[in-house]
Structure 1
């Protein structure tokens, strides 16, 4: 029996009910914390658990240094505890404490898991990508590991926060204690800063990515930024662009141009046979005269950023999501120029790019053989393409196929069994628990299946050559990490993103008739593609040029086809 309870029993000859009541009061007191104790313990938990990925970055920084001050390194967790304790104290206010910190803990649990298992950082771009994620996409991240983590580091701590008794003192006394506690935390920070300021500045400058892994401050700051920009700032006045656009195609053979643009998802150049990969991941299109543009980079590392950016007139360095939403896209300018347009989408939507032209989002229950209610194989787009091509093409036309491609982490759900060529593969969503060979094989199967889709599109374009001059362009929105340097998936801040997430494939196929009628020298194009440097910045003007749309917004220096035009001028 605890000594405190024994003392209560000896105080007076009360009846059993009274003794039980006093026992309860004593035991309850043991579970009671002051607001300062609660705040400090919570900060300690956040540092010791949620900031484990941060200390992994610290470890990498230490390994890069020849001379390490380990006393300074030891102060980092202490500094974090002091800093979080100070910040948490601001929100440790009666009536809001539990609700606020339960919400924050559940959120931080998810952020922690994403950083620990996949190396994902929740910056503005990732917040934007998360907000735009549909239900089916979100469910792919639900697996045994994520559920266990959420229970262990989210639900259980949240339950403890809910159950704990917090002893709020009278207002003046509570405020005084809080101020003294916050001052003490600031003193701790100041002392560390006094002795190790230069160490923090130097180490932080050499390991700038550290700040992005601090939980919960960086993710919360990114969320506040996203909410402020999207919900509290005055919308920009919409800007129409390319109203002067006109189609200047020289139609000497009486046939219109028909171009299919395939927008890939999560395909990285590193795993393409066309870019030096040893495995035959382009076996289906290798029979066609494909042009692969080497050294091509994406505008972002997530669809929510890259897709609007690649169709924007802004370059990556100029790009601002808010401005992009308030102005015409490449699709709009093509529309102004008289091009017939159709957007077919089997991914997460066009992110506003195609809103003002005809577009079809695939019904996820439309085909029981190709769809499961959450996703469809990309073959479903071929069916829609067949419907579109059933009507003869009468004017210059561009059809966009937005494929789901290599969307992770459930790569194994992106290809049918008959396209499961590389084995053993990883038939699970917690990809961090797959063997490296299995994970790469699974991803390679998605690349090969996308290559099959492209080959099928080319076959359909070849069948149209009696009525149209046909061409195809394929470009991925961003790349993917498959465990290199401990990183998985995509969405890393661009400044620290590995090449796997930004090096992408850019391919083209031009029928002989299209090349001849549009004056494009294929040999010249292949030479240029092999030696040049390209990016999503090139897409806007290149497609205007390919469709022979003339406009003041067109930039010849960014048109990848311009230097190889022989007889037909776009400007």
Structure 2
């Protein structure tokens, strides 16, 4: 092959580069580029982030502005310069000739992934979402990969990383480098401050009235949120949970009961009230429950919009009304009180764990089971949690048993994998996790088939409890952890900050069933409960309603939040 010799860039007199193929041409191109200062690399990287990864932020910040007015253009330009300068300040502090390439590579890759899901599903990277991502298992994460994701990662993650590694960095003696770096940082601060002051009135109004938009500024959003999550988890690591169970005891009425109790609490996943057949939805997604003697609560709301928030919150003494994430995670849960009074407590899970609410209690992880009828090697259908329940009941030391079943439910975006083929009732369906390839009708149909399967699972759970009614007083309560967006206003999945989350993500189904023996033993008037089922309830009621209904005395019990209080003898 003919070789071509080219002189290298200035600073290497007499040196030549011999080119023998396409790869050598690329190397020659970068070799002839002048070395770049780390400071300019930081500025260019910040510009790249602002231009390529912040579409959602600028769309939200500039929405509904009058573009015939010069003030709108000034605000847009000032906002762009401010964000770019502020992110440049951070990079100028962190980058040097040793850290620049590896650190920027990580930032490019992670920011590309973050921006993809932000733009595709309207994700806000606040602390709740970052914690949710960190707790996501490999199976769950794998369902989010697609060809479009890979292309996006290649363009906005891999290629910029390769470019950075190809660039030559200019080296400067340490004594000169420090004042030069400080000069760049001061200049960036002046630019950021000047551009912010120029638009301060509009900018302060935006930050005051739409606080959540700051979690759209990438990569600052996930870096800030990650630091808070790590700090909180580090502070709580190896610290025993604060006890709330010490004073708990069974009420005197327990001594008169003739049968042990078996109570099943089903924690649903990603089922929204809008698609619940018993709430009047156009698709009959609850045909089996509709034929049973159940109490349906059509006006129930969740504590959060993702599992990491809702599950700890619904079992806590704080709830949404007094929401404090640190306190919720640092205190014992409702389950610890139930276990303390001598009721055997078991958590059976087909998802990603109990999120700390069952720490120190029996936890059975069933998602990796090998049952060929219910499992495909990666995931299991929720009926796996009913397998072996006879054994769980028989192991209860004193007979009284409280079981939590944590569903995989309707976790998206792979709705089509949440139900067996026999439940493919509503068609056409979306048979891929890449929702962009499906119509709204297909997505909704697949989701509804998943709800239909939850209906079947709950009916089957009730059927199991009925088989135990000769020996036990039995009851079941179902409550989904949060809802789901299915494309309304361009929003998909869940996890939006609670203050701006649509009702599709916060309104959830809730259903209760109890045997006649349970109602009699615990003095619950089922007719009264049925009449009151139309009242507004929330996950805040769970803690106090369970304590009240099971006649467990605790100083943390609040009768005003017990939805059964007015219907018990």
Q: TM-score, normalised to structure 1's length? A: 0.90
Q: Deviations over 1:465-492 (max 9, x none)?
A: 2222221100011111112222221122
Counting matched residue pairs gives 555
Partners of 1:534 and 1:522 in 2: CA distance = 17
Q: Secondary structure at the match of 1:446?
A: helix
Q: Deviations over 1:530-551 (max 9, x none)?
A: 0x22211111111112222222
Partners of 2:63 and 2:423 in 1: CA distance = 40
Whether 2:490 is the aligned partner of 1:492: answer: no
Q: Secondary structure at the match of 2:120?
A: helix
Aligned mate of 1:75, from 65, 73, 78: 78
Q: Secondary structure at the match of 2:150?
A: helix
Whether 2:560 is the aligned partner of 1:557: answer: yes
Aligned mate of 2:532, from 518, 528, 533: 528
Q: Secondary structure at the match of 1:33?
A: coil
Query: Residue 166 of structure 1 aligns with which residue?
Result: 169
Partners of 1:234 and 1:381 in 2: CA distance = 30
Q: For the structure 1 residues 193 and 121, does the alpha-carbon distance in structure 2 shift closer, same or farther, using more than 3 Å as the test?
A: closer
Partners of 2:147 and 2:359 in 1: CA distance = 38
Partners of 1:103 and 1:432 in 2: CA distance = 27
Q: Secondary structure at the match of 2:175?
A: helix
Aligned mate of 2:263, from 250, 259, 264: 259
Q: For the structure 1 residues 343 and 19, does the alpha-carbon distance in structure 2 shift closer, same or farther, using more than 3 Å as the test?
A: closer
- What 5-or-longer segments of structure 1 have no aligned partner? none
Query: Residue 452 of structure 2 aligns with which residue?
Result: 448
| 1:271–1:444 Cα contact (<8 Å) kept | yes
Q: Secondary structure at the match of 2:474?
A: strand
Query: Residue 538 of structure 1 aligns with which residue?
Result: 541
Deviation at 1:448, TM superposition (A): 0.8
Query: Residue 133 of structure 1 aligns with which residue?
Result: 136
Q: Deviations over 1:87-113 (max 9, x none)?
A: 221122121111111111111111111
Query: Residue 309 of structure 1 aligns with which residue?
Result: 313
Query: Residue 472 of structure 2 aligns with which residue?
Result: 468
Query: Residue 90 of structure 2 aligns with which residue?
Result: 87
| 1:469–1:513 Cα contact (<8 Å) kept | yes
Aligned mate of 2:49, from 46, 49, 59: 46
Whether 2:161 is the aligned partner of 1:152: answer: no
Q: What is the CA RMSD across the aligned residues, in angstroms?
A: 2.8
Partners of 1:471 and 1:6 in 2: CA distance = 83
Q: For the structure 1 residues 89 and 77, does the alpha-carbon distance in structure 2 shift closer, same or farther, using more than 3 Å as the test?
A: same
Query: Residue 183 of structure 2 aligns with which residue?
Result: 180
Partners of 1:454 and 1:146 in 2: CA distance = 36
Q: For the structure 1 residues 396 and 162, does the alpha-carbon distance in structure 2 shift closer, same or farther, using more than 3 Å as the test?
A: same
Q: For the structure 1 residues 265 and 27, does the alpha-carbon distance in structure 2 shift closer, same or farther, using more than 3 Å as the test?
A: closer
Deviation at 1:218, TM superposition (A): 1.4
Whether 2:120 is the aligned partner of 1:123: answer: no
Deviation at 1:446, TM superposition (A): 0.9
Partners of 1:251 and 1:8 in 2: CA distance = 91
Query: Residue 387 of structure 2 aligns with which residue?
Result: 383
Q: For the structure 1 residues 526 and 60, does the alpha-carbon distance in structure 2 shift closer, same or farther, using more than 3 Å as the test?
A: farther
Partners of 2:353 and 2:446 in 1: CA distance = 24
Whether 2:113 is the aligned partner of 1:110: answer: yes
Whether 2:228 is the aligned partner of 1:225: answer: yes
Partners of 2:184 and 2:204 in 1: CA distance = 26
Q: Deviations over 1:6-50 (max 9, x none)?
A: 9999xx9x8xx86869x9999624253222321221111101111
Q: For the structure 1 residues 27 and 504, does the alpha-carbon distance in structure 2 shift closer, same or farther, using more than 3 Å as the test?
A: closer
Deviation at 1:322, TM superposition (A): 3.5
1:323-342 matched pairs, under 5 angstroms: 323-342=327-346
Query: Residue 239 of structure 1 aligns with which residue?
Result: 242
Q: Secondary structure at the match of 1:286?
A: helix
Aligned mate of 2:505, from 466, 486, 501: 501
| 1:114–1:121 Cα contact (<8 Å) kept | no
| 1:464–1:470 Cα contact (<8 Å) kept | yes
Deviation at 1:445, TM superposition (A): 0.9
Q: Deviations over 1:140-199 (max 9, x none)?
A: 112212222222211111111111111122233333433333333333233323432112
Partners of 2:43 and 2:235 in 1: CA distance = 33
Query: Residue 485 of structure 2 aligns with which residue?
Result: 481
Q: For the structure 1 residues 18 and 86, does the alpha-carbon distance in structure 2 shift closer, same or farther, using more than 3 Å as the test?
A: closer
Q: Deviations over 1:334-380 (max 9, x none)?
A: 11112122221111111222232333111514212211232100111
Query: Residue 191 of structure 1 aligns with which residue?
Result: 194
Deviation at 1:203, TM superposition (A): 3.1
Q: Deviations over 1:224-266 (max 9, x none)?
A: 1111111256765532222232223457672223211111011
Partners of 2:341 and 2:130 in 1: CA distance = 35
Query: Residue 414 of structure 1 aligns with which residue?
Result: 418
Deviation at 1:512, TM superposition (A): 2.6
Q: For the structure 1 residues 392 and 494, does the alpha-carbon distance in structure 2 shift closer, same or farther, using more than 3 Å as the test?
A: closer
| 1:53–1:115 Cα contact (<8 Å) kept | yes
Partners of 1:499 and 1:26 in 2: CA distance = 54
* Larger mean Cα displacement after TM superposition, 238-247 or 554-563: 238-247
Deviation at 1:221, TM superposition (A): 0.5
Deviation at 1:78, TM superposition (A): 2.3
Whether 2:439 is the aligned partner of 1:435: answer: yes
Partners of 2:246 and 2:415 in 1: CA distance = 42
| 1:251–1:517 Cα contact (<8 Å) kept | no
Partners of 1:507 and 1:520 in 2: CA distance = 16
Q: For the structure 1 residues 558 and 146, does the alpha-carbon distance in structure 2 shift closer, same or farther, using more than 3 Å as the test?
A: same
| 2:78–2:196 Cα contact (<8 Å) kept | no
Q: Secondary structure at the match of 1:239?
A: coil
Partners of 2:446 and 2:357 in 1: CA distance = 30
